[in-house]
Structure 1
Amino acid sequence: MRQTGGRAVLQVHPTRLCNLRCLHCYSSSGPDVAESIPIAVLRQVVRDAVDLGYDVVNVSGGEPFLYPELPALLRAARDAGLRTTVTTNAVALNQRRIGLVRGLVDLVAVSLDGDAATHDRIRDRTGSFDKALTGIRRLVEVGIPVGVVTTLTQGNATQLGDVALAAADSGALLLQVHPLEPEGAANRLMPGERPDAVELAYAAVELGRIAEEHGLAVQLDAVPRTVLTRRPGAFMAAPVEPDTPLGRWLTPLVVEANGAVVPVSYGFDRRFWLGNVHDRPLADLAADWDPDPFLTLCRGTWERLVNGRTGPLIPWYGHLVRASRADAPPPRPRSSC
């Protein structure tokens, strides 16, 4: 989940190991991907994040509950004064794993990507929808607040009511809808399924109905064009005063599973990265980072969207990630030596 109540979010991907191989996985995680960050490095990361102005840590993946040091990471974040959220597919959520994080997490976000058939197709495993609902109920039973995250595709907006009903019946409190972006596995396995303007508009209307009928808090990760136009500073499209703490204007800040630190989203083009926490502490990377190229990118993307022909709802982060890759030089060919 990208943001929590307007707070400054540090998003940490401690591992790319996952028990599923989802068609839309932006990090291309899976059962045979062992990439991860040692807990000693992440303890320093969360301590540095507080000094940079961040107040929420969201742990994502891969599957965070397969990271053996997840409880230690959450405890370090809590000890540093940060709120904590975890995003999970919930398939691995047995009572033992839940017990290890009880009292350490403020919200667990469980992914449900449509009705049972659609979810199981995207997750590439039959029965994963039912296991996710079981995981939600187990979390709720021990008093851990739960939200549901749905990836919106070109074909599942009409299923949001089914998702909301399943979520509410299982005890979830929040439904967040995030438009699919052609990143990672989705670029290969779900071509043409990114939702268009009509699908976004339908989702917005449906979420209004869901909030009224089911009592769920709802969030669509797309902004009205009027808001984009009136508030450039909220989209990092305005100058930033020197020495302003990073968390005051850049959220989320992302630590990828290989240690790379990037703005906004996993996979953001490396031309704009801060560096790697395996090499230097996050505090040093932030102190030496020149944000001007990134801010120029934000301003140019903002101007293009405001002045261009777009729909009434704009998935800002998706546009920004794609803009980060525009005009990037092609990768160098590997040497034959």
Structure 2
Amino acid sequence: MATSATLMLHLTGRCNLECRHCYMDGSPRRREALPFDWVAQALRAAPGLGIGTLFLTGGEPLLYARFADVARVAAEVAGLATTVCTNATVVRRRDAALLARLGFDAHVSIDGMPGHHDLFRARDGAFRKAERGIGLLLAAGVPVTIVTTISRGNVEQFEQIAGWALAAGARRLLVQPLLDLGRGMAIGDQQLSGEQLNRLILQTSDFGNRSAGRIAASIIGGSKRFLLAHPCAAYVCNGGGCHRGVSAEIKKVVVREDGTVLPEATNLDHRYALGNVADGSLAELVQRYFPAGYAAFDRLCRSTYEQCVPDWPAPIVPWDQLLALHSRSVLPAPVGAAPERGCGGGGAGKAAAAPIWIKPGSAA
């Protein structure tokens, strides 16, 4: 079986920072955490479900009490490519050594030069602590990707951020236009204008070209042109005229810190969930979803696509943002019901992921 699907585990809601744009609302006050035993069985079931990519995130995943145990289980799963998403401020030498030994990658978020980053992260000294953690990861041999959220407040710092990532030794720079999700909704006025987004796209491309292969640089998202030509990239494939010919699919499974298991989008309304970790194993939840809940989710995806994508004013479509916002107003209903109108959200953001899927009936 192909292993091209993605599993994203939000191990904990706890974070040592309280970033202004956090789509997860992570903070030091949160205590939710996934049960280790459930996480372990989900990881071992991954190959049987067609899952080949794993993201360990949070909150801050390194604050999860049994992070090292989770990492070791993941490393034992053949063919599972694992990335740890961290703010790097709490990275210790032993953490870096563990990730290097297990062959993991790291995604580290840096959102501007020191002054802006610390302000955005609501913590003085956050930049320098992250810089130190990145240094430990790189020294241990962990491949590091810098993920930078760009808003109106730091768009003029892009060249500095990119230059810093290159000088630090990162292998890749991912540029995320501010999303209207989580705490980011409180600073929605900081989303980029269309003109700023177009300029950012060009700057990102130019920077990557100038680096002469030393670092890859790209915008997180997909082009509107691509989504119009390939709607199956926007989670709306059910075999009807699709060149991939699948009957139904889930390309990414997201397990939230409270145990809710969601299809595709981290901030999706929980009415569309596969269930909760208390309801059964990951394989069981996936198998139950196709006859019981997939039709409503498919309808949500299709109505969001039809109402939002064709007339979206920017070249980058924030698909996950649109789907999440739309899911709050569109009630799960049988296929064939009249679609509810309206396309919420604005600005730029993450578009659809690459074609990856869990097919109905898959099991560990």
SS at match of 1:113: coil
For residues 13-57 of structure 1, give each alpha carbon's deviation from its aligned partner in whole angstroms, at most 9, with x where no partner exists: 011111111111122111121110121110011122321111011
Shift of 1:191: 3.5
Q: State the number of aligned residues.
A: 320
1:116 counterpart letter in structure 2: P
Q: Which TM-score applies when normalising by structure 1?
A: 0.89
For residues 206-258 of structure 1, give each alpha carbon's deviation from its aligned partner in whole angstroms, at most 9, with x where no partner exists: 111110223321221222221011001121222149x9698xx4333100011
Q: Tell me which residue corresponds to 1:158.
A: 156
Q: Tell me, yes or no, if the aligned pair for 2:99 and 2:105 is still in contact at 8 Å.
A: no
Q: Tell me, yes or no, if the aligned pair for 1:74 and 1:105 is still in contact at 8 Å.
A: no
Q: Percent identity?
A: 32
Q: 1:113 to 1:7 in 2, by over 3 A?
A: farther
| Larger CA deviation: 176-185 vs 284-293 | 176-185
Residue correspondence of structure 1 range 116-265 to structure 2 within 5 A: 116-188=114-186, 190-214=187-211, 215-240=214-239, 249-265=249-265
Residue correspondence of structure 1 range 69-148 to structure 2 within 5 A: 69-81=66-78, 82-148=80-146
| Larger CA deviation: 105-114 vs 320-329 | 320-329
User: Once superposed, what is the RMSD of the aligned Cα atoms?
Assistant: 2.2
Shift of 1:305: 2.8
Shift of 1:309: 4.5
SS at match of 2:46: helix
1:296 counterpart letter in structure 2: R
Q: Distance in 2 between matches of 1:178 and 1:283?
A: 32
Q: Distance in 2 between matches of 1:98 and 1:261?
A: 29
Shift of 1:113: 0.8
Residue correspondence of structure 1 range 286-297 to structure 2 within 5 A: 286-289=286-289, 290-297=293-300
Q: Tell me, yes or no, if the aligned pair for 1:179 and 1:315 is still in contact at 8 Å.
A: no
Q: Distance in 1 between matches of 2:308 and 2:183?
A: 26
Gaps of 5+ in 2: 333-364
Q: Tell me, yes or no, if the aligned pair for 2:96 and 2:142 is still in contact at 8 Å.
A: no
Gaps of 5+ in 1: 1-5, 330-337
Matched, 1:276 2:279: no
Q: 1:66 to 1:274 in 2, by over 3 A?
A: same
Q: Tell me, yes or no, if the aligned pair for 1:8 and 1:56 is still in contact at 8 Å.
A: yes
Q: Tell me which residue corresponds to 1:60.
A: 57
Q: 1:66 to 1:151 in 2, by over 3 A?
A: same
Matched, 1:299 2:302: yes
SS at match of 1:237: coil
SS at match of 1:29: coil
